Amino acid sequence: MLLSLRLFFLPAGMNVLPVVVSRDSLRKIRATKREAVPQLMKPGIIAGITAIGLALLVAGVHADSLSADQAYRMGSYPEALRLWQASAADGEASAQYNAAIMLLEGPGPARDPDAAVSLLRRAVAQSYADAQFALAFLHAEGKYVAQDDARAAELYRSAAAGGHLAARYNLAMLYHQRRVRGGNAEEAARLLQAAADQGLAAAQYQLAEHHAHGEGVTQDITRANNWYRQAADQQYPPAQRRLGLMYLHGDGAPKDLDMANRWLRRAADQGDAEAQFQLATNHHVGKGIDKQPELAVQWFKEAAWQGHARAQYHLGLMYRNGHGVEQDDREAARWYRAAAERGEAKAQNNLGNLYISGEGVPQDYVLAHKWFNLAGANGNKLGIKNRDRLAGQLTSDQVAEAQLLARAWHSRHTPPAGSHASTASAMPADSKPAGDDEATASSWFSRVLGNRP
C-alpha cells in the first residue's frame, strides 16, 4: 500500500508525442543496485480465527439427531441434513446449528445461506454458544448478513460467557483492532489468557505478543517465550516463526542461528510465507546456514506464489542478476510487476528501470515515469530522482499521461477511508498473505472444533 505522500500530477492533455531520450540522460537514471536482502520486520498482530464445525454427538439430544450423527459419519450427508432439519423444527438448538453449518458450507450438495442464518438465529435465541459464535463470525465478516462489529462483539461476549474458547479469542482481537467499544488491552489480555489456558494455539501466540510488548500486562519476556513455545509445540506456524526470529536476532532469547533456522524451517514447511521469506534470505546470504542461492530461489518462490511482495521483489532480483537461477529479464520483470502491484516501492523503481532499458518489457518511457512516480510516492528516494530526471526528457503531454496512469493505479489500490482494508495495521507490516492467525481450510470456515475436544 502506498504511503500517504503526494503524487505529482499535471493536467491530462493532448496526444502523446514521440520523444528520444539521450544516452547521457539515461546514464543519470541510476540502475538497480545489487542489494543485500533485508532482515525480516517483526511480525504484528492480526485478527481472525474461525472455529466452526459440526457439533456431533451432543449429550442429551433428540433421537433423530443421533441418527443424523450416524448418517453424517457414514457419509450420507443429505440424510443427515434431513434428520437435523427435522430435529431443528422441533426446537433442538444443536440440530439447528448443525443444519445451519451444513447449509452454509457442507458437506453435501445443499446450500441455502438464508435458511442457515435463520436457523442460527433460532439457536442463538436458546443461548447455544456455537451458534452465537457462528453468527458473530458472519457479522464480523459481513458474510450473508450485514457487517456489524458491535453485534459480532455482543454475540462473542455471550458465547465467551458460556465458555466458548474461540469466542474469547475473536472478541480479544476485535478489542485489539479497536473495532468495537468496551474493551482495552487489559480486557483483551484477560480473554487471551483464558483461551490460552484452554490450549488454543492462536491465543497462546497472541498472549505471548502481549507479554513481549507489555500490552495490557506487565512486560515479561520469560512468560512471552513460554507462550510462544507452547503455541509452537502445537505446530502453530506464526509462533514457530517468532521463535526463529528471536533466536536469529537474539531478541528475547540467546542468539542461536542453528535454532533460528530450525524453527523457521518448521514454519516454512507449513506454508508460512514470512518464514519462507526469511529462510530464503538466510540461504541467500549464508546466515547460520549454507549459502545456497538455488535453495534461496526455491523458498522465495514459495513465498512469492502466496503473494508475499518482498519475496516477489527479491525473486525479481535473483532473475535479474542470475543468482541461483538462469538470468532472465522477462522473469525479473514478471516478479517485479507482481511486487509493484502490491505497493513494493523498490520493485516499482526497478520495473521503471526495465521500461527505460527495454529489457524484459517493451521500452516505454511513459510507463517508466509512472512506476518511478509511484515508487517515489511510496517513499523510495531513488524513484523520486529517476522520475524527475526522466521528466526533463519527456514532453508535457507524456508526463501528463504518465501521471494520469499513476493516479489511476493509486485510486485502484487505495481502499476507502474507514474500511477494514484501510486499517491494514491489523496485518503485520511484513505480511498479510500468510494469514498469521487465520486457520486455513478447504472452505471459508475452518474445521477447528473450537469448543469441543
Q: How confident is the model at residue 252 (pLDDT cuts 50, 70, 90)?
A: confident
Q: Looking at residues 364-371, what average pLDDT do you find?
A: 97
Q: How confident is the model at residue 181 (pLDDT cuts 50, 70, 90)?
A: confident
pLDDT at 442: 28
pLDDT per position as a tens digit, 379-391: 999 999 999 999 9
Flag whether pLDDT at 420 surpasses 90: no
Least confident of 29-33, 175-179, 215-219, 448-452: 448-452
Closest Cα partner for 51 from 270, 210, 198, 208? 198
Q: Quote the mean pLDDT of the chain.
A: 80
CA distance 7 to 373: 7
Flag whether pLDDT at 429 surpasses 50: no
Q: How confident is the model at residue 25 (pLDDT cuts 50, 70, 90)?
A: very low
Q: How confident is the model at residue 239 (pLDDT cuts 50, 70, 90)?
A: very high
Flag whether pLDDT at 93 surpasses 70: yes
pLDDT per position as a tens digit, 335-358: 999 999 999 999 999 999 999 999
pLDDT at 431: 33
Residue 430, helix vs strand vs coil = coil
Least confident of 234-238, 307-311, 346-350, 417-421: 417-421
pLDDT per position as a tens digit, 308-324: 999 999 999 999 999 99
Flag whether pLDDT at 92 surpasses 90: yes
pLDDT at 13: 33
Q: How confident is the model at residue 176 (pLDDT cuts 50, 70, 90)?
A: confident
pLDDT at 6: 27
pLDDT at 185: 87
For residues 56 and 80, is the Cβ–Cβ distance under 8 A?
Answer: no
pLDDT per position as a tens digit, 133-168: 999 999 999 999 999 999 999 999 999 998 898 999
pLDDT at 49: 42
CA distance 426 to 409: 23
Ramachandran angles phi, psi of 299, nearest 5°: -75, -35
pLDDT per position as a tens digit, 103-139: 998 888 789 999 999 999 999 999 999 999 999 999 9
Least confident of 23-32, 115-124, 438-447: 438-447
CA distance 20 to 93: 74
Could you give the percent of the chain with pLDDT greater than 70?
77
Q: How confident is the model at residue 64 (pLDDT cuts 50, 70, 90)?
A: low
The DSSP element (H or E) to which 131 belongs, if any, is helix 129-141
pLDDT at 66: 64
Residue-level length of the chain: 453
pLDDT at 107: 85
Q: Looking at residues 197-217, what average pLDDT do you find?
A: 91
pLDDT at 134: 95
